[in-house]
Every structure is written in structure tokens, then in C-alpha cells.
Amino acid sequence: YTKKMTKLESYEVIKRHRSQSDTKKYTVDSVLAAHGHSVLRLPPYHPELNPIERIWAYIKQWVASHNTTFKLDDIKRLAETKFAQDCASVIQSACEHSKKVESQFME
């Protein structure tokens, strides 16, 4: 390390000297791996890659347009109603959209 190094150069030095044990490990990852699953960590600030963001936006928009009382119990009932109505098709559409965006990023 020298004082004249750029951030990128300093980061490269850190990466070279960092051991595998320094990387963050989560208990849930180990539990899921033991059951044949893996964890996909999405990059921060990319809601287009996370289908739940699209689903939640759809539900919130519908609830907002049908909310007349602004009471928490009524909002909860509206959200549950919309989830029960067409949740499967919304989930499928959101997942397909995220896959399409992911493909565009990969090109």
C-alpha cells in the first residue's frame, strides 16, 4: 500500500490479502444448502430484478384506487382480497419481466 494509490488500486490490494474466512457467511445459507437450495442475492437498488417489487407496486396501486375509508383494517382487507383474486398471474408476469430484464443485463 502507498499513499498515492487510487481507491481501485487499494481495493485490489485488499482483495488479494483477504482470506476466504473474511467473507460474510449467513446461517440461513448453510441451512438452505443442506436442503438443496441456494440463495440468490440481488444487487441493491435494482428493483427491476426483484419480482416482489413489481407485485407489491401492483397491489399498492389497486388498494390505493379502491380505498375509501383509509382505515388500516380496510386497507388490509383490500390487499388480501387482491392477493386472493389474481395473485398467480401477477406473480408469473412479474417473474417473466424480471427474467427479461436480467437477460438484457447479461447481453
Amino acid identity at 48:
E
For 4, the grid coordinates are 498515492
* Average pLDDT of the residues in 87-92: 92
pLDDT, position 12 = 87
Report the 10 Å Cβ neighbour count for 56: 14
Q: Could you tell me the CA-to-CA distances from 22 to 13, 14, 16, 18, 99 in Å, in that order?
A: 14, 11, 12, 6, 32
- Please say whether the beta carbons of 78 and 72 come within 8 A: no
Q: Render pLDDT for 53-71 as a digit per residue (tens, 0 to 9).
A: 999 999 999 999 999 999 9
Distance of CA 87 to the CA centre of its chain: 18
Asked whether the predicted pLDDT for residue 21 surpasses 70, the reply is no
Q: Tell me the angle at which helices 72-106 and 51-66 cross, rounded to the nearest 10 degrees.
A: 150
Whether the full predicted model's pTM is greater than 0.75, yes or no, is: no
Q: How confident is the model at residue 45 (pLDDT cuts 50, 70, 90)?
A: confident
Asked whether the predicted pLDDT for residue 19 surpasses 80, the reply is no
